Structure 1
Amino acid sequence: MLHLPSEELIHRIQRSETEYMYDRMQAIEGRTGNPEGIEMVRFGQALCLYSKTMPWLSFNTVKGLRSENLKDLDAIIDFYHSRDRKFQFEIVPAMVDQALLSALADRGFFQSAFHNSMYMNPQELVDMPDNGIVIKTIDKDEFEDYAKVHCLGTGLPVQGIPSVALNNRVLHARPGWRFYMAYVDEQPAAAGVLHMNHSTASLTFAATLPEYRRRGLHQELLRRRIREAKREGCNLVVGQCAFLSQSHRDMETVGMKLGYVRTTWTEREAES
């Protein structure tokens, strides 16, 4: 089945992005004592994500915002302001109207970034000859290696490795989650994560250590996860990437197409 652009497809892609983040945050929240201070609140279809100890915007985001959330904007903003946290709205085409965008601008928010949401039917993946790249699923005792690739591959400080390991290890046995590692000379070099739910697979994360880039590791991790989604009966694979990034080019290479470009809206800094 060929997936053609439609509002139904856009909503399905967006739901998958919200579902995997909700499940991820729920698992982290379930750690003894909720050490990361996770809170999640829904306003209709909109999901507000918050973490007390993780200030990065990806953990402090409003997902699934729709035109009908116009009446909820002040409550959503207050949710974050009361916690003294900078946050972002993710705006998806066809889900909001001019009135909501105007209301965001009136409240001091502006469009600050773009981000791609890509998709494909896994049946359309073209198999390639074996290139010798070794990829294995990650065992529960290998999340320190995963966290090292995660942090050093994305520019996070090495001090964060223990926390990243703990916050991902809780997903290891959780339904729908798969973690993969690519090796070069038997050394961990790149990692990728897959989440599957309701016949949709999300390529939730990937990173490659700087010294191993431009060796095809990311492309092979994409292919491995897409093949896994196909075996598990998924009929849609989605992923996110920065526009014109290497990830964007790799996703196009394996057959993924642009579903939409979502925008990020953040609050203007108060003038001193």
Structure 2
Amino acid sequence: MTIEDSPLFCSTELARRIECAERQLIDAATEAARLRSGAASFVLPVAGGAACFAEAGSPMNKVVGLGFGGVPDDEALSEIEQAYTTRETPVQVELANLGEPAVASAFTRRGYQLVSYENVLGRSLSGDPQPVAPPGVEVRACDDLSAWLDVVVEGFAHPDDQGVVSHEDFPREIVERAERDMEKAGATPYLAYCDGEVAGGAGMRVADGVAQLTGAATAPAYRRRGVQTALLSARLSDAAGAGCDIAVVTTQPGSKSQQNVQRRGFHLLYTRAILVK
């Protein structure tokens, strides 16, 4: 094993950076939803993280970024729970296992239950990674947001069945609006073409030297043809060019997406527990 192949060590400081970037993304996407629809959205800062509500049924409705800024007190948690209850939405918390253990205890004491996990993987961007695409596959900066939305939403509507099944399932129109909000929050869209036809899409947002790889999906008809490899490679090259030192991606445990990124040098950094009340 070479030094370049060695797993990236994730310190609590690196996890804090990544979770901070995640909080900023969900915060900004929630604000984009508010501006788009005028819905009763909210972002409530709490112990270094944030409780976010974009609109009914949105994947942005969750508490993120906790564990690196102290332990939330009961008053703050009661305020958050009341805000979600008023909107008839369960409280969902994404909690990194590298955060303060006392934060998890604060939620379990209040009756939160563990419902799932998600993995955060990362890789160093040293060495200026170059874009690589299989024959017939081309990745371009997105110049057609409608085409990007169509292929990403279509891909999400037909997930691979490998690995742990997600505990969430969103209607097509909710996914489309959430992807629009992510783009407004600063996620740059990419399109992949296979023999000239739109085959896949993905996004990337840069914050504090962290490249967040978001929204990757391939149309079912073009799977197993290297589309995700090409999208991943293009974004890694652009992230290095933008001065990022690390790229991160979130996947379902044991999924095809996790397998794909590990083949491109990503390693498991930490896991988020999904707690729900």
**In the alignment, which of 21, 27, 48 is matched to residue 26 of structure 2?**
21
Task: Give the match for residue 245 of structure 2.
Answer: 235
Task: Give the match for residue 185 of structure 1.
Answer: 195
The answer as to 2:132 corresponding to 1:110 is no
Which protein has greater RCO, CA pairs closer than 8 Å, 6+ apart?
A: 2
The number of residues matched between the two structures is: 256
The verdict on how the C-alpha distance between 1:205 and 1:41 changes in structure 2, with shifts beyond 3 A counting, is same
Deviations 1:211-252 (A, max 9, x none): 211111112111110100001111111110111101101110
Task: Give the match for residue 120 of structure 1.
Answer: 123
Distance 2:46 2:173 in 1: 35
CA deviation after TM superposition for structure 1 residue 136, in Å: 0.9
Question: What residue ranges of structure 2 are gaps of 5+ in the alignment?
Answer: 158-169
Task: Give the match for residue 145 of structure 1.
Answer: 147
Work out whether residues 13 and 117 of structure 1, in 8 Å CA contact, stay in contact via their aligned partners in 2. Answer: no
Work out whether residues 137 and 179 of structure 1, in 8 Å CA contact, stay in contact via their aligned partners in 2. Answer: yes
Give the TM-score taking structure 2 as reference length: 0.83
Distance 1:218 1:198 in 2: 25
**In the alignment, which of 4, 8, 11 is matched to residue 9 of structure 2?**
4
Task: Give the match for residue 61 of structure 1.
Answer: 62
Task: Give the match for residue 81 of structure 1.
Answer: 85
The answer as to 2:212 corresponding to 1:202 is yes
Task: Give the match for residue 167 of structure 2.
Answer: none
Percent of counterpart pairs with the same letter?
23
**In the alignment, which of 20, 30, 35 is matched to residue 30 of structure 1?**
35
Deviations 1:99-141 (A, max 9, x none): 44334223221111010011111125765765231111112xx
Q: What amino acid sits opposite 1:136 in the alignment?
A: R
Distance 2:13 2:121 in 1: 15
**Which SS does the other structure have where 2:72 is aligned?**
helix
CA deviation after TM superposition for structure 1 residue 192, in Å: 0.6
**Range with greater deviation from structure 2 (100-109 or 234-243):** 100-109
**Range with greater deviation from structure 2 (108-117 or 39-48):** 39-48
CA deviation after TM superposition for structure 1 residue 83, in Å: 1.7
CA deviation after TM superposition for structure 1 residue 163, in Å: 3.9
**Which SS does the other structure have where 2:71 is aligned?**
helix
Distance 1:165 1:116 in 2: 20
Work out whether residues 148 and 158 of structure 1, in 8 Å CA contact, stay in contact via their aligned partners in 2. Answer: no
**Which SS does the other structure have where 1:47 is aligned?**
strand
Work out whether residues 132 and 234 of structure 2, in 8 Å CA contact, stay in contact via their aligned partners in 1. Answer: no
The answer as to 2:44 corresponding to 1:41 is yes
CA deviation after TM superposition for structure 1 residue 160, in Å: 5.4
**In the alignment, which of 188, 211, 225 is matched to residue 235 of structure 2?**
225
Distance 2:66 2:174 in 1: 30
Task: Give the match for residue 270 of structure 1.
Answer: none
Distance 1:87 1:198 in 2: 28
Task: Give the match for residue 162 of structure 2.
Answer: none
The verdict on how the C-alpha distance between 1:106 and 1:154 changes in structure 2, with shifts beyond 3 A counting, is same
Question: What residue ranges of structure 1 are gaps of 5+ in the alignment?
Answer: 268-272
Q: Which runs of 4+ in 1 moved over 3 A?
A: 34-37, 124-130, 156-171
